[in-house]
Amino acid sequence: MKKRKLGNSNLEISELGLGCMKMSFGDRPVGDRQEMISFLHSAVDRGITFFDTAEVYGPFTNEELVGEALFPFRGQVVIATKFGFQLNPDGSPGFTGLNSRPERIKQVAEESLKRLKLEAIDLFYQHRVDPDVPIEDVAGTIKELIQEGKVKHFGLSEAGAETIRRANAVQPVTAVQSEYSLWWRTPEDEVLPTCEELGIGFVPYSPLGKGFLTGKINENTTFDSSDIRSRIPRFTPEARRANQVLIDLLIKIGEQEGATPAQLALAWLLAQKPWIVPIPGSRKLERLEENLGAVAVELTSDDLQKIESAISEITVQGDRYPKDLMKMSGR
């Protein structure tokens, strides 16, 4: 597995990371704990050194899982986690709102360090921008945590370009994480140019369109009520039927490249910028190995132009999130 650096930082990681959320949180049933620990070990064995989790995933259980599984590999892997949500007081899944007040950030840092079994958090993202807390206060708090040796790098998730600039002026931002894929390209308008200008790495989550770009979902697929896709406009049967044209295109181009739709979608992301590191989520070894095959797919400039030309003829139907979650993005 080749390595990439996130922007101008010295943070070097595998060119594909691993999103860990669904191993213990999200749609049910979640993975068996021992199986997930073995799966994470298999990911390390295959060269993955970048793992993504968050306090809110569970809450807490995902960090605990990742911390236990990756403890034997301390110093060899990079773990990113996140702060920013006000969790339900009874400890049940979900949150009551946003909370990035300095005292809350420091509390989350201390608790995440214990769950992850780390002396310092490698990359600490603000999960969503809190409109009630100036981003300068957030960045200043992370700067203090870095000076104290409790955090190594600062990240932002789903932040707008102006917020990124303001935060970076106080404490250099190592990475911005946002949804980005062949079916959600809005970051190209302002966020990616800002990252390039400031020397910030970019980490696309949902690089496979929450599974749609694998080609294994169609209009007849059903989702459990616990699966967020059951509430996403882009995943209504009508939208899936309309968006199938994108999968048909990936299958056609993939046949020419000897790649699956998932591999093609990931290879396209890797070809965009050398400081982009996608984090496809997985909990099955066969899916992990398929995703890793994307690093061997080398798209030429002609290939990319053909994809660009074909994609430009397609309009993806449906919002990527329910309205309540859309309001938290791009601030």
pLDDT of residue 225: 87
Work out the average pLDDT over 141-168: 98
Instruction: Return the CATH number at 256.
Output: 3.20.20.100
User: Domain for residue 331, yes or no?
Assistant: no
User: Domain for residue 290, yes or no?
Assistant: yes
User: Domain for residue 228, yes or no?
Assistant: yes
User: Domain for residue 282, yes or no?
Assistant: yes
pLDDT of residue 27: 76
Domain that holds residue 58: 3-326
Work out the average pLDDT over 292-299: 96
Tell whether the model's pLDDT for residue 29 goes beyond 80: no
Question: What are the residue numbers of the active site?
Answer: 57
Work out the average pLDDT over 45-66: 97
For the chain, what is the domain count? 1
Work out the average pLDDT over 192-212: 98
Amino acid letter, residue 317: Q
Tell whether the model's pLDDT for residue 28 goes beyond 90: no
Q: What confidence tens digit (pLDDT) does each residue in 165-188 have? A: 999 999 999 999 999 999 999 999
Work out the average pLDDT over 20-28: 88
Between residues 4 and 29, the one the model is more confident about: 4
Tell whether the model's pLDDT for residue 89 goes beyond 90: yes
User: Domain for residue 193, yes or no?
Assistant: yes
User: Domain for residue 68, yes or no?
Assistant: yes
d(CA 184, CA 265): 12
